[in-house]
Amino acid sequence: MRNILGIEFPQYIEGIGELKAFDGKRHSGTPFEAKLKSPNGRNNKIVESLEKAIELSGLRDGMTISFHHHFRNGDYIVNMVLETLAKMGFKDMVVAASSLTHCHAPMIEHIKSGVVKRIETSGLRGELANAVSAGLMDIPVIFRSHGGRAYAIASGELKIDVAFLGAPSCDCAGNVNGFNRDGDNSYDCGSLGYAMPDAEYADKTIILTNNIVPYPNTPCAIPEINVDYIVKVDEIGDPKGIVSGATRYTTNPRELKIAKMASDIMEHSGYFKNGFSFQTGTGGASLAVTRFLHDKMLKKGIKASFALGGITGAIAKLHEEGLIKKLLDVQDFDLEAVRSARENPFHCVVSGHHYAGSGIEGSAVDQLDMVVLSALEIDTNFNVNVLTGSDGVIRGAIGGHPDTASGAKMTIVVAPLIRGRIPTVLDKVNTIVTPGSTVDVFVTEYGAAVNPLRKDLIQKLTSVGIKLHTIEELKEISEQIVGKPKPVEYGEKIVGLVYYRDNSVIDVIKKV
Amino acid sequence: MRNILGIEFPQYIEGIGELKAFDGKRHSGTPFEAKLKSPNGRNNKIVESLEKAIELSGLRDGMTISFHHHFRNGDYIVNMVLETLAKMGFKDMVVAASSLTHCHAPMIEHIKSGVVKRIETSGLRGELANAVSAGLMDIPVIFRSHGGRAYAIASGELKIDVAFLGAPSCDCAGNVNGFNRDGDNSYDCGSLGYAMPDAEYADKTIILTNNIVPYPNTPCAIPEINVDYIVKVDEIGDPKGIVSGATRYTTNPRELKIAKMASDIMEHSGYFKNGFSFQTGTGGASLAVTRFLHDKMLKKGIKASFALGGITGAIAKLHEEGLIKKLLDVQDFDLEAVRSARENPFHCVVSGHHYAGSGIEGSAVDQLDMVVLSALEIDTNFNVNVLTGSDGVIRGAIGGHPDTASGAKMTIVVAPLIRGRIPTVLDKVNTIVTPGSTVDVFVTEYGAAVNPLRKDLIQKLTSVGIKLHTIEELKEISEQIVGKPKPVEYGEKIVGLVYYRDNSVIDVIKKV
């Protein structure tokens, strides 16, 4: 065998295998075959339209397309792509989104017309959720946790053919960021954590951006090596919906009471010591927990090693005050968090996989000491529902709930005991999202209950005078006030499958 | 079908497939099966010994193990691992290192004893190189460029079973860095770019570190999700060999003359304008080019958008002076570069894949305007050899030579015309590493020659009065001084296969 330079070599070598000959071409055999050298520049991945990018990607009917939810209720990408696919005549697509919300109601029409056949998501809200609950789809929606989704993508269980990822900034080669450091930053979403596994594992990745910035757009969330095509669009979303300006601090006395109790439990749990780690969410009570914790840290001279998850300005403030050494940020909830992620070297963007991935190699959730989570319902086995309302209709998202609950040494669920005359504690929740064996404490405005599995915690907390209830007692208190709720009447049709973080079925959602 | 919580669901759903039941265990069916929740902590990947990590990894005879070369001639990892494998009785291993050098001479014994069957590397030096050139191995060594290796790993052509990666810092979960920000930093190597693809794609990754640091070791080069086991060792290398203290500025008049000419050509090439990009190496002339360029940038008020590749303190200085906006750093050559990578937010570590990956998605080399490279030999077709000496013996490394030559709009090769009475320009180089079609300019102390393919460059340079030779003229000048060299006498046995960046055979190295 001889190559184009005249060098002779054997076609096969025992211990190595077949050899191929240098042919003086770049990527011979691909559609990109070209000269080895392009002195006028190369590798500009920007194509003229979304249609063109879709054509080049090789997308076919029935394939799986993916989206991220970092633009939240301001997202334009999902609707834009589905409308384009509809116009181009695509059918039977599987939509694998990291989450879907109110603004994605137009998907209903694409389901009816056969463009979308199946959905995977962390959550559903608004009209689309109502329609799915009412039996819109032939195939049940698969609900995965953020960590379960990352694991499914990395393990190949969820194979993404083409990822369509919106980006506040991208250079000509595809280095992508959740910030635009080179101009208009009103579309910044901060971390792009949930988009990173998609870009890494999808067969083809198409970036939709309103800001093409100079090369190299580094440091970047998604490196160019994971990007195939780039489309410049006028708008990727509505800035007002992408992040809220500032997260309001609650003055609701019920939320403050819950937060005070939760933070007292954290303080006396044995986990509150130098180098501890925690995650809190965005709900009123959760944010207030962060504030109470701040005061306790200052008072006791205790510092945290890291805070994890969706990051708020409140958490960023603790980092900037030196009370939290590092932030691992999978998603930003407000403009202050976005700013901190842009400015602070130890406020680091992590992928959904690094955050909560459920493979045996573990992830950051496995290093958490304490997490504070919300609940729509909890049952006497401490199983938690964050996905369906008391009417059985889908109205929420799994998020990282089961991931952090499983990883954290102490999982605290906070919720009002009664919401609008509906009790939170039930004999059995409508939908099990997080198994009770991973939930340690339930805190309400009427007091707290500790999972009887955690005798160590009960002992620690009662020894410092914290009065605990059993969860049955909390249920009774609520039933004395508002009575026992009537069970939801479901049909037979399964409209949703709830996957636990290992992608096993933990519950099903039936038509209401 | 019913899961452990009593939820009923169908075993199979059309459009989705087989479903699996939640069983209340973590990773059921794996050796790590455990409770869903471990309140006493989990996910400490530190194992007591290298032997234990090897056992757990499932390594078997004949498998492929990988190493990085960021500890250069100070590396202890390769020898330590091979010695352990020898003691444990392993045979027929394939060693896929990003590069090998003088300190790896002990591998000769492991080849003789059958522990090592085959080698892949970017280069070989010293005793090991001499022995391979003399016919030590039954199967030829495969030499790949840094970009070709990354592509081979990402595409699955080079399948790594277990990666053994040395790290100056690592936390209990496996977040790895080339710096230790939490204590003894005398083993810092800076970027771990060439280790990143290994960690990402290897079936199992074992980290060997002398510094276990607090979680989370972020920002990190290798995230915990790519790490399986961690072994604490006393020493990962000899700090003196890992990085040189400071790169000395040349006073050699021949090198200065070459550098002056090269920088003049860069200035007048048409590529020297605001936002240009470049890469220079560590040789005396290359470093001097950086200094001449610095003066030209200051004088003309021109700034670069980025510099790429192995980073030196000289390049870091330009970045810190604001003359280069961003650094993309795959490897650090001296302590000043390491410090800059640790301190400067826009001095970013990139993987070998992001640096030079040769897949159709491209990489940073494809955005380069100008690169300055060295050569051991160049022929009248501009083909370059950086791998074998004038005696035919292996004594170098491919590195990113063909990758950057192919990517850059202008590739300048600098070399003395004569080295110790041996001419650099030949009719045919001993080993073709970089094809002449990707080399644009050759600069020596006797003048420069431009590849006739680049009429545009010839026109630009001569129009400003730069006197050019043909490469044949340069060859004649040297032959007038030292005569025509005798061709090397090779045997028949192929001892090395030189792969181009697409992993085709561009040349073979025969026994001397």
H-helix or E-strand spanning residue B494: strand B494-499
Residue of B nearest to A407 (CA): B37
Q: Do residues B229 and B307 both lie within one domain?
A: no
Q: Do residues A305 and A381 both lie within one domain?
A: yes
Q: Do residues B421 and B341 both lie within one domain?
A: yes
Separation of alpha carbons B333 and B343, rounded Å: 16
Interface membership of B75 toward A (CB under 8 Å): no
Number of H helices, E strands in chain A: 15, 30
Average pLDDT for B148-159: 96
Q: Do residues A411 and A430 both lie within one domain?
A: yes
Q: So what's the pLDDT on residue A31?
A: 58
Flag whether B143 is in a domain.
Answer: yes
Residue with tokens 């009248």: B380
Q: Which residues of B touch A500 (CB under 8 A)?
A: 22
Separation of alpha carbons A81 and A164, rounded Å: 8
The stretches of A2-58 forming alpha helices (DSSP H) are: 50-57
H-helix or E-strand spanning residue A230: strand A229-232
Residue with tokens 């990282």: A400
Residue of B nearest to A215 (CA): B305
What is the average pLDDT value for chain B, to the nearest integer? 95
Q: Which residues of A touch B227 (CB under 8 A)?
A: 361
Flag whether B27 is in a domain.
Answer: no
Complex ipTM value: 0.95
Within 8 A by CB and 6+ apart from B387, the residues are B123, B143, B376, B394, B395, B396, B397, B398, B431, B433, B496, B498, B509
CA atoms within 13 A on the CB side of B367: 31
Separation of alpha carbons A63 and A91, rounded Å: 9
Residue B184 DSSP label:
-
Interface membership of B507 toward A (CB under 8 Å): yes
Separation of alpha carbons A190 and B280, rounded Å: 34
Q: Which residues of A touch B36 (CB under 8 A)?
A: 406, 435, 437-438
Q: How far is B439 from chain A (nearest CA, A)?
A: 9
Separation of alpha carbons A386 and B153, rounded Å: 41
Residue of B nearest to A494 (CA): B9
Q: Which residues of B touch A26 (CB under 8 A)?
A: 406, 502
Q: Do residues A221 and A277 both lie within one domain?
A: no
Separation of alpha carbons A385 and A391, rounded Å: 13
Considering only CB atoms, B328 lies closest to which of A218, A348, A438, namely A218
Of B119, B121, B65, nearest in space to B88 by CA: B65
Considering only CB atoms, A37 lies closest to which of B38, B118, B406, namely B406
Q: Which residues of A touch B26 (CB under 8 A)?
A: 406, 502
Q: So what's the pLDDT on residue A244?
A: 74
Q: Do residues B206 and B268 both lie within one domain?
A: no
Q: How far is A409 from chain B (nearest CA, A)?
A: 4
Q: How far is B19 from chain A (nearest CA, A)?
A: 7
Peptide bond into A219 cis (omega under 30): yes
Give the residues across from A304 on adjacent strands: A276, A324
Tell me whether residues A214 and B275 touch, CB distance under 8 A: yes
3-state DSSP call for residue B186?
coil
Q: How far is A498 from chain B (nearest CA, A)?
A: 10
Tell me whether residues A508 and B7 touch, CB distance under 8 A: yes
CATH number at residue B164: 3.40.1080.10
Residue A62 DSSP label:
T
Residue with tokens 């707290």: A448
**Please, are residues B276 and B410 in contact by the beta-carbon 8 Å criterion?**
no
Q: Which residues of A touch B9 (CB under 8 A)?
A: 494, 497, 505, 508
Flag whether A278 is in a domain.
Answer: yes
Per-residue pLDDT for chain A (512 aa), expressed as one digit of tens each? 999 999 999 999 999 999 999 998 877 656 556 677 876 655 689 999 999 999 999 999 999 999 999 999 999 999 999 999 999 999 999 999 999 999 999 999 999 999 999 999 999 999 999 999 999 999 999 999 999 999 999 999 999 999 999 999 999 999 999 999 998 899 999 999 999 999 999 999 999 999 999 999 999 999 999 999 999 999 999 988 988 766 677 889 999 999 999 999 999 999 999 999 999 977 888 889 999 999 999 999 999 999 999 999 999 999 999 999 999 999 999 999 999 999 999 999 999 999 999 998 999 999 999 999 999 999 999 999 999 999 999 999 999 999 999 999 999 999 999 998 999 999 999 999 999 999 999 999 999 999 999 999 999 999 999 999 999 999 999 999 999 988 899 999 999 999 999 999 999 999 99
CA B72 from centroid of its chain's CA atoms: 11
CA atoms within 13 A on the CB side of A381: 13
Separation of alpha carbons B181 and B189, rounded Å: 12
Separation of alpha carbons A286 and A293, rounded Å: 11
Structure tokens at A205: 């990745």
Flag whether A441 is in a domain.
Answer: yes
Flag whether B60 is in a domain.
Answer: yes
Among the candidates A190, A220, A242, a domain finishes at A242
3-state DSSP call for residue B112?
helix
Considering only CB atoms, A357 lies closest to which of B5, B38, B225, namely B225
Tell me whether residues B348 and A215 touch, CB distance under 8 A: no
Tell me whether residues A26 and B142 touch, CB distance under 8 A: no
Interface membership of A504 toward B (CB under 8 Å): yes
Flag whether B154 is in a domain.
Answer: yes
Tell me whether residues A219 and B348 touch, CB distance under 8 A: yes
Separation of alpha carbons A53 and A36, rounded Å: 24
Q: So what's the pLDDT on residue B295?
A: 97
Separation of alpha carbons B478 and A246, rounded Å: 72
Considering only CB atoms, A15 lies closest to which of B139, B362, B500, namely B139
Of A35, A34, A93, nearest in space to A59 by CA: A93
Residue B228 has pLDDT above 70, yes or no: yes
Q: Do residues B453 and B348 both lie within one domain?
A: yes
pTM above 0.90, yes or no: yes
Residue of B nearest to A93 (CA): B15
Q: So what's the pLDDT on residue B145?
A: 98
Q: How much of chain B, in percent, has pLDDT values that exceed 70?
A: 97
CA A422-A428-A434 angle, to 5 degrees, is: 100
Q: Which residues of B touch A405 (CB under 8 A)?
A: 37
Separation of alpha carbons A211 and A189, rounded Å: 13
Q: Identify the residue among A12, A36, A324 best suited for mutation to test binding to B, counting B beta carbons within 10 A and taking the highest.
A: A36
Radius of gyration, alpha carbons of chain B: 25
Bridge-based pairing of strands B93-97 and B169-170 is unpaired
Of B309, B424, B306, B295, nearest in space to B372 by CA: B309
Q: So what's the pLDDT on residue A389?
A: 96
Residue of B nearest to A158 (CA): B16
Separation of alpha carbons B142 and B499, rounded Å: 7
Considering only CB atoms, A142 lies closest to which of B7, B16, B24, namely B16
Q: Do residues B466 and B387 both lie within one domain?
A: yes
Considering only CB atoms, B22 lies closest to which of A173, A354, A504, namely A504
Considering only CB atoms, B505 lies closest to which of A20, A117, A306, namely A20
Interface membership of B364 toward A (CB under 8 Å): yes
Flag whether A28 is in a domain.
Answer: no
Q: Identify the residue among B1, B5, B230 best suited for mutation to test binding to A, counting A beta carbons within 10 A and taking the highest.
A: B5
Of A398, A172, A20, A255, nearest in space to A9 by CA: A20
Q: Which residues of B touch A277 (CB under 8 A)?
A: 215
Among the candidates A192, A213, A242, a domain finishes at A242
Of A156, A61, A141, A70, nearest in space to A107 by CA: A141
Tell me whether residues B361 and A228 touch, CB distance under 8 A: yes
Residue of A nearest to B141 (CA): A16
Q: Do residues B435 and B465 both lie within one domain?
A: yes
Interface membership of A52 toward B (CB under 8 Å): no
Dihedral angle at the C-alpha atoms of A181, A185, A191, A194, nearest 10 degrees? Answer: -120
CA A154-A158-A159 angle, to 5 degrees, is: 90
Tell me whether residues B225 and A359 touch, CB distance under 8 A: yes
Residue B163 CA: distances (Å) to CA of B57, B95, B160, B309? 10, 10, 7, 23
Interface membership of A410 toward B (CB under 8 Å): yes
Q: Domain residues for A366? A: 253-489
Q: How far is A359 from chain B (nearest CA, A)?
A: 8
Considering only CB atoms, B218 lies closest to which of A326, A406, A411, namely A326
Give the residues across from A232 on adjacent strands: A209
Considering only CB atoms, B20 lies closest to which of A8, A357, A505, namely A505
Considering only CB atoms, B362 lies closest to which of A154, A173, A275, namely A173
Tell me whether residues B360 and A9 touch, CB distance under 8 A: no
Interface membership of A83 toward B (CB under 8 Å): no
Interface membership of B344 toward A (CB under 8 Å): no
> Domain tally for chain A?
2
Can you give the three-state secondary structure of A75-101, one letter per residue? ECHHHHHHHHHHHHCCCCEEEEECCCC
Separation of alpha carbons A133 and A124, rounded Å: 10
Separation of alpha carbons A365 and B395, rounded Å: 48
Separation of alpha carbons A260 and A267, rounded Å: 10
Considering only CB atoms, A360 lies closest to which of B30, B350, B497, namely B30
Residue of A nearest to B353 (CA): A225
3-state DSSP call for residue B306?
strand
Within 8 A by CB and 6+ apart from B151, the residues are B157, B353, B357, B358, B359, B501, B502, B503
For residues B246 and B198, the model is more confident at B198
The stretches of B38-194 forming alpha helices (DSSP H) are: 50-57, 77-87, 107-112, 126-133, 146-155
3-state DSSP call for residue B354?
helix
Name the packing angle between helices A335-343 and A313-320 (round to 10°): 40
Residue A290 CA: distances (Å) to CA of A311, A323, B13, B415, B424? 11, 12, 43, 62, 68
Q: So what's the pLDDT on residue A28?
A: 64
Separation of alpha carbons B111 and B109, rounded Å: 5
- Cβ-Cβ pairs closer than 8 A, A with B, add up to 257
pLDDT (tens digit per residue) in B304-328: 999 999 999 999 999 999 999 999 9
Residue A47 CA: distances (Å) to CA of A174, A208, A327? 12, 10, 36
Q: Do residues A193 and A219 both lie within one domain?
A: yes
Q: Do residues B259 and B235 both lie within one domain?
A: no
Which amino acid is it at B119?
Answer: I
Residue of B nearest to A13 (CA): B139
Separation of alpha carbons B226 and B206, rounded Å: 10
Phi then psi for residue A463, to 5 deg, are -65, -20
Interface membership of A379 toward B (CB under 8 Å): no
Separation of alpha carbons B97 and B119, rounded Å: 8
Q: How would you classify residue A27: left for phi > 0, otherwise alpha for psi between -120 and 50, otherwise beta?
A: left
Flag whether B380 is in a domain.
Answer: yes
Q: Do residues A290 and A229 both lie within one domain?
A: no
Can you give the three-state secondary structure of A432-468, one letter per residue? CCECHHHCCEEEECCEEEECCCCHHHHHHHHHCCCCE
